[in-house]
Amino acid sequence: MSTARRLLLLNGPNLNLLGTREPAIYGSQTLSDVETLVARAAADRDFEVRSLQSNHEGVLIDAIHAAREDCAGIVINPGGLTHTSVALRDALSGVALPVAEVHISDVLSREPFRHHSYVRDVAAVHVVGEGVAGYVRATDELIDLIESPAESL
């Protein structure tokens, strides 16, 4: 694992519409608000954050691949790709970095197609249904995991 004190914050399709897209489900805070919250939470722990949002699966995958060079972990809200993308799941698995999966809404209380996550089995941290504040908890738990001493036998 990289010793960098940097996290990659990835947001998938349609998350650029936060604040205006279905505020009853996703709230009124914007993607910029999310990025600021995560950057502050990480800075409190001496980490920096590189943020990226894309509506394009390949752009997200390329960012995941690049993260193995200079990041210690990934916080990701894959958006709708959560339920459809084996390729995104394989990219996360392939870089061998700890991953925190975040969902603003409680996907398990929504439509049945949202109940399956391809990311779930490769993520060490899962935060679902806590609104935008869930990103902060995911960041803290991911940093706890990164900073936890390796267990020796």
For the annotated catalytic residues, the residue numbers are 26, 103
83 in a labelled binding site: yes
Residue 89, C-beta contacts closer than 8 angstroms, at least 6 positions apart: 118, 119, 121, 122
Is 106 known to sit in a ligand binding site? Answer: no
CA atoms of 100 and 79, how far apart (whole Å)? 13
Residue 104 in marked binding region: yes
114 is in an annotated binding site: yes
143 is in an annotated binding site: no
Q: Crossing angle of helices 57-70/86-95, nearest 10°?
A: 10
Binding site annotation covers 2?
no
Burial status of residue 43 (CB atoms within 10 A of its CB: 0-12, 13-18, 19 or more): exposed
Residue located via tokens 């505020």: 23
Among residues 70, 73, 76, which one has the least CA distance to residue 54? 76
Q: Which residue has the tokens 């925190």?
A: 100
Q: Which parts are annotated binding residues for substrate?
A: 77, 83, 90, 104-105, 114
Q: Which parts are annotated binding residues?
A: 77, 83, 90, 104-105, 114
